[in-house]
């Protein structure tokens, strides 16, 4: 086991797959010579050369569109969209083209590609560089959606995404890039569509994603001291969704909380609440509670941003207030 940062795990995952398969190519803005604006792709250009690791103009439609054209003609491209907010600029490519191509042509076209992007808050960048847009993507049939919370999952799930025969949108969390964790040595490949139970409790089940996972874990530790024992599930993937783990862990405690960084309406937790309400209603001991960013654009100032996205305090307070 080596200790890597979350950002180093990104480069490690890409490098592992580029070494294994020469069809894997990588493109994006400032990703090659500069090593990425978040330094997530340092060293790839030097290792794999300018044909396979390419800097692009600021042209998000062209980046995603080119990845699509390359994927349907025999390559396995990884495209970087610098900030997930820029999905707005390339949304036609993502939602209308990539997501639908295979279905519309009855399986004639295959699109094995990955779009990596920096998602989420914590950098004081304001409303156009801090959003959590995983729920946008989750709403479109034909896209797989992954959002790891730690370096090992970054490498393993990124490898799985590259090897997957379908388009995968890979959300890296900006607020986690500097965090460290153990990453298995040698080849590391995880499985998409699998949640992980990080902590087993008996009173409540807290389901979280990406940067909300470490907050849920901290909240669980504090709740433990107050006599509330919490299970924490790291969802890791929204599509496919590991409903099996979700339902099993909810039934064990009878109390379900979601911790979501996306704004309230139609956030991923709403889908989970709906599934649990339909399929595990009689196992619940109380209402499902969603802890989310309110339905506002994200403000920039430290105090404002910190108090908009779910905090450890808010998770603890909400669970304490409602779990009784």
First to last CA, the chain: 41
Nearer to another protein (CB atom), residue 193 or residue 299? 193
- 61 touching another protein, by CB under 8 A: yes
Rounded to whole angstroms, the Cα distance separating 82 from 227 reads 43
**Residues that contact another protein, how many (by CB under 8 A):** 50
The answer to whether 144 touches 173, Cβ cutoff 8 Å, is: no
Of positions 96, 128, 221, 274, contacts another protein by CB under 8 A? 96
Per-residue interface string for the shown chain with another protein, residues 112-141, x marking contact by CB under 8 A: x----------------------------x
Kindly give, in sequence order, each residue whose CB lies less than 8 Å from that of residue 174, ignoring residues fewer than 6 positions away.
38, 118, 119, 120, 121, 122, 123, 130
Nearer to another protein (CB atom), residue 162 or residue 323? 162
The answer to whether 176 touches 210, Cβ cutoff 8 Å, is: yes
Of positions 20, 30, 37, 62, contacts another protein by CB under 8 A? 62
Kindly give, in sequence order, each residue whose CB lies less than 8 Å from that of residue 305, ignoring residues fewer than 6 positions away.
121, 122, 124, 130, 298, 299
The answer to whether 145 touches 116, Cβ cutoff 8 Å, is: no
What is the closest distance, in whole angstroms, from the C-beta atom of residue 193 to another protein in the complex?
6
What is the closest distance, in whole angstroms, from the C-beta atom of residue 302 to another protein in the complex?
35
Of positions 30, 37, 43, 56, contacts another protein by CB under 8 A? 56
- 104 touching another protein, by CB under 8 A: yes
- 103 touching another protein, by CB under 8 A: yes
Kindly give, in sequence order, each residue whose CB lies less than 8 Å from that of residue 208, ignoring residues fewer than 6 positions away.
149, 215, 216, 232, 233, 234, 235, 258, 259, 260
295 catalytically annotated = no
- φ, ψ of residue 151 to 5 degrees: the values are -60, -40
Instruction: Scan residues 280-299 and list those touching another protein (CB under 8 A).
Output: none
Q: Which stretch binds another protein (CB under 8 A): 96-104, 129-137, 215-223, 303-311?
A: 96-104
What is the closest distance, in whole angstroms, from the C-beta atom of residue 237 to another protein in the complex?
10
- 67 touching another protein, by CB under 8 A: yes
What is the closest distance, in whole angstroms, from the C-beta atom of residue 41 to another protein in the complex?
18
- 66 touching another protein, by CB under 8 A: yes
Residue 10's SS3 state is helix
Per-residue interface string for the shown chain with another protein, residues 11-50, x marking contact by CB under 8 A: --------------x-------------------------
Kindly give, in sequence order, each residue whose CB lies less than 8 Å from that of residue 200, ignoring residues fewer than 6 positions away.
231
CA trace torsion 34, 116, 264, 142 (10° rounding): 160
Of positions 9, 75, 118, 289, contacts another protein by CB under 8 A? 75
Nearer to another protein (CB atom), residue 65 or residue 214? 65
The answer to whether 137 touches 91, Cβ cutoff 8 Å, is: no
What is the closest distance, in whole angstroms, from the C-beta atom of residue 186 to another protein in the complex?
27
Q: Which residue has the tokens 């330094």?
A: 39
Rounded to whole angstroms, the Cα distance separating 322 from 324 reads 6
Nearer to another protein (CB atom), residue 70 or residue 228? 70
Of positions 158, 239, 270, 319, contacts another protein by CB under 8 A? 239
**Chain residues in the site for another protein (CB under 8 A):** 25, 51-52, 54, 56-57, 59, 61-75, 77, 92-93, 96-97, 101-110, 112, 141-142, 165-166, 193, 239-244, 275
């Amino acid at each position: 086991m080596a200790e890597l940062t979350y950002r180093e795990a990104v480069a490690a995952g890409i490098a592992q797959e580029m070494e294994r398969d020469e069809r894997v190519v990588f493109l994006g803005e400032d990703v090659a010579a500069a090593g990425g604006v978040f330094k997530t792709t340092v060293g790839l250009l030097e290792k794999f050369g300018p044909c396979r690791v390419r800097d692009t103009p600021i042209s998000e439609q062209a980046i995603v569109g080119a990845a699509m054209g390359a994927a349907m003609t025999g390559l396995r491209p990884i495209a970087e969209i610098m900030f997930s907010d820029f999905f707005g600029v390339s949304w036609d490519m993502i939602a209308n083209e990539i997501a639908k191509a295979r279905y519309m042509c009855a399986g004639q076209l295959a699109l094995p590609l990955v779009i990596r992007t920096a998602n989420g808050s914590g950098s004081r960048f304001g409303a156009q560089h801090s959003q959590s847009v995983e729920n946008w993507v989750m709403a479109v049939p034909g896209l797989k959606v992954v959002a790891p919370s730690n370096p090992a999952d970054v490498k393993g799930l990124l490898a799985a995404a590259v090897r997957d025969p379908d388009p995968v949108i890979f959300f890296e969390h900006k607020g986690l890039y500097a965090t460290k964790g153990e990453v298995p040595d040698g080849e590391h490949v995880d499985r998409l569509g699998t949640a992980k139970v990080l902590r087993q409790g008996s009173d409540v089940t807290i389901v979280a994603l990406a940067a909300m996972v470490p907050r849920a874990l901290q909240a669980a530790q504090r709740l433990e001291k107050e006599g509330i024992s919490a299970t924490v599930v790291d969802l890791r993937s929204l599509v496919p969704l590991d409903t099996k783990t979700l339902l099993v862990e909810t039934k064990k405690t009878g109390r379900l909380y979601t911790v979501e960084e996306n704004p309230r309406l139609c956030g991923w937790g709403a889908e989970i609440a709906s599934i649990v309400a339909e399929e595990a209603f009689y196992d619940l001991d109380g209402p499902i509670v969603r802890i989310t960013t309110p339905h506002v654009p994200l403000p920039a100032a430290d105090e404002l941003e910190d108090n908009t996205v779910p905090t450890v305090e808010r998770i603890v307070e909400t669970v304490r207030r409602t779990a009784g």
